Amino acid sequence: MKEQLLQKFGEIFGDTEGAEVYFAPGRVNLIGEHTDYNGGHVFPCALTIGTYGVARKRKDKKLRFYSMNFDRLGVLESSVEKIKPEKEAGWTNYPKGVIWAFGQKGYEVTEGMDLMLFGNIPNGSGLSSSASVEVLTGFILRDQYGFSISNEELALIGQFSENRFNGVNCGIMDQFAIAMGKKDNAIFLDTAAMEFEYAPIRLEGAKLVIACSNKKRGLGDSKYNERRSECETALAQLQQVIGIETLGDLNEEQFELYKGAIKDEVCQKRARHAVYENRRTVRAVEALKQNDIEAFGRLMNESHISLRDDYEVTGEELDTLVEEAWKVDGVIGSRMTGAGFGGCTVSIVKDEAIDAFREKVGQAYLKKIGYAADFYAVQIGDGPVKL
């Protein structure tokens, strides 16, 4: 792969002198959805699929970008000076946003760069192709320009750039999972305290299977920011009656006691999901530590129901994938993952049931939705690396 990428870089940019090859993973969240901006816990892991980058520092101010995934666009040029988001800049707004964010945090990028990307994460799948590009860009900038900065800070800068430059009000989970990924481990992260631990994922005789709905969605124009706003309204009303900083500070009993303070019924449903999902995530990690994978699967199923009924972010495509998965013998648990409104589901499937899972769920999905889903048996990988 490294040689092929360098060869392509040479074709596009004339030669490969000084070019280096890098990789940042995608991520999947096993449980704990829409909790990361509500002060709750999340449980994501990095994947062995992700984004490759070939980069070379320049002596002038010019930025030259090329994506093998969008090769019809050719080389897109701009400058490190006066970087601002531009609709016509398309995908390059993600790496440019990170360069801008580095400057905002006191790490000035004064020289340009040639950057070529290749991603093997399905685009718009909800496996965090944008966060993968952000962390990859930060990792490259650190290496090429010699900035002294930790992987945790790379995650925070990636989130900052997506919030402020790209206008997507995302939480920290995606960038953190990618920057801090560890092979065969998921990350149990308390997003309020930014405290985390690695938890080994031991799926004896089973695998993680991602089902991609192939329904395209954009985070920024989805109802993501709307859900966040509804949770903020609920939190502000709860704070009138109980001293909390985030919805993640509540347990189920406290929520049931004080939920009457939330005047709007829809905001109350959103808050109920945030509170219950957070507690589910804590219990799921405990189940995993006890090697009770069946209990973990049941909690995944409950998570999907809450995302469907209280948070209303699933939609027909994701519901079909999950509800058909639940019918297949050998499926331990299945739920939507990511922001929702399209994207992917994640399932734990026994090895002997994987073929039947693909066939049965795939056929039912095609019949009901009218186009096919894609299936990937995935492995848990490390964070960003220089190849």
Q: Supply the DSSP symbol for 33.
A: -
Place of tokens 């995608």: 26
Span 252-259, mean pLDDT?
A: 97
* 3-state SS assignment for residue 103: helix
pLDDT at 222: 63
Domain boundaries, the chain: 2-200
Position 317 pLDDT exceeds 80: yes
**pLDDT digit string, tens, across residues 114-149:** 999 999 887 666 676 889 999 999 999 999 999 999
Residue (of 286, 281, 285) closest to 306 by Cα position: 281
Does 325 have pLDDT greater than 90? yes
Element (H, E) at 356: helix 354-369
- Please report the pLDDT score of residue 301 as a whole number: 98
Q: Count other C-beta atoms under 10 Å from residue 321's C-beta.
A: 28
pTM of the model: 0.88
Q: What percent of the chain has pLDDT over 70?
A: 97
Looking at residue 220, its pLDDT comes to 44
- CA distances, 300 to each of 40, 155, 229, 239 (Å): 16, 26, 25, 29
Question: Which residues are the active-site residues?
Answer: 174
Neighbours of 185 (CB within 10 A): 18
List 376's β-bridge partners, or say none.
Answer: 210
> Residue 55 is inside which H or E element, if any?
strand 44-57
Domain 2-200 architecture = 2-Layer Sandwich (3.30)
The whole-angstrom separation of Cα 350 and Cα 340 is: 25
Mean pLDDT computed over 89-112: 93
Give me 297's structure tokens.
């699967």
pLDDT of residue 339: 83
Give me the pLDDT at residue 124, please.
Answer: 62
| Structure confidence at residue 170 (pLDDT) | 79
d(CA 305, CA 292): 21
What is the token pair recorded at 315?
Answer: 């939609």
Asked whether 168 and 162 are in contact (CB, 8 A), the reply is: yes
E strand or H helix at 198: strand 195-200
- Which band of pLDDT confidence, cut at 50, 70 and 90, is reported for residue 250? very high
The stretch 15-42 carries a mean pLDDT of 95
pLDDT of residue 134: 96
Least confident of 152-156, 260-264, 328-332, 375-379: 375-379
Q: Is residue 58 pLDDT above 80, yes or no?
A: yes
75 torsion bin: left (phi>0), alpha (psi -120 to 50), beta (else): beta
Judge whether residue 361 has pLDDT over 90. Answer: yes
Whether 356 shows a pLDDT value over 50: the answer reads yes
Nearest CA-CA partner of 348 in 324, 378, 319: 378
Cβ of 61: how many Cβ atoms within 10 Å? 13
State what percent of residues in the chain have pLDDT above 90: 82
Residue 150 has pLDDT above 50, yes or no: yes
Phi, psi dihedral angles at 196 (to 5 degrees) = -145, 160
| DSSP letter assigned to residue 113 | E
The mean pLDDT value of the chain amounts to 93
Of 121-130, 294-303, 343-352, least confident by mean pLDDT is: 121-130
Picking from 290, 291, 376, 367, the residue whose alpha carbon sits closest to that of residue 337 is 376
